[in-house]
Amino acid sequence: MSSRLLSLPMALTLALAALTACAEDGGTGKPEVVASFYPLQYVAERIVGDHAEVTNLTEPGVEPHDLELSPRQTADLAGADVVLHEEGLQPAVDEAVRNESPEHVVDASSVVALAEGEDGRDPHFWLDPTLLAEVGQEFTKTISEADPANSDAYLASNAKLQADLQGLDNDFRAGLADCRSRALVVSHDAFGYLGRRYHLEVLHIAGLSPDAEPSPRHLAELADLIRTDKITTVFSERLASPKLAETLASDLDITTAVLDPIEGLGSSDESDDYVSLMRENLAAIRKAGGCG
């Protein structure tokens, strides 16, 4: 009789263990990767293919700087096989990584050398595709350590990603080689890496945060530069308010267009990805700059 009484708790324990394991891997049996925002999700999905599940903590249409984690998202991060994030961009994610201590973490800010902006370190490294490629290399190394059974597949996928990013870089360099104007007026200071890589002068309305309010003096100086350099276009963004860009352009009677910092996808951008959005940016810059 005692053996029968012991068998029930043991069965319950085994069942609970099985349910916990199932919850941790999403029920697929595949490694779980958590990426903190879209460009890192893009890298992770390109590399893991069908061999792992990727979760993005930042939903489409959400500004990644403003992310707050739900208890479920925190649990996803804690149980992930690999977490891919950028320290300093999303404080809520940084805190969760410190508190939950996942086993394998790739911090993009420790992979690439972040530049200093006027308001601190500039996090927008992915607008230089060669820097995003460096993060891809490090993620491939880490996911291969976490899931060695599929390391060959990860290496092969990363090789394709590296080739695509190199091709994108080549297209930018060729497409921006001969332009009437190399000045970009943008809504916030997110395009410094793109400017440095392709020798563009980036003039920003607001600082590193899209919510920053520029001073009247800064706006007056920017307007003078636009008139002097005969700049034709002020760029706004998709995930931030276009009000400042539209007001400045209206005051100067010039055009507005969209230049995407690709911090996240819009809610209707299911057919877009990092490379297609970067190519849209290239086309917009070429048009505004009168590039041949």
Domain span at residue 280 reads 178-289
203 and 64 in one domain? no
Range of lowest pLDDT (49-53, 59-63, 84-88, 194-198): 59-63
Mean pLDDT, range 129-154, rounded to an integer: 98
185 and 141 in one domain? no
Range of lowest pLDDT (38-52, 155-169, 249-263): 249-263
Which residue, of 172, 202, 232, is where some domain finishes?
172
Q: Indicate the Cα dihedral angle 194, 187, 39, 127, nearest 10°.
A: 0
190 and 120 in one domain? no
- 29, pLDDT greater than 50: yes
The domain that holds 212 is classified in CATH as 3.40.50.1980
Q: Answer whether residue 8 is part of any domain.
A: no
78 and 211 in one domain? no
Which residue, of 172, 198, 213, is where some domain finishes?
172
* 254 SS3 class: coil
The pTM for the full model equals 0.86
139 and 55 in one domain? yes
Which residue, of 172, 193, 225, is where some domain finishes?
172
The answer to whether 183 and 200 are in contact (CB under 8 A) is yes
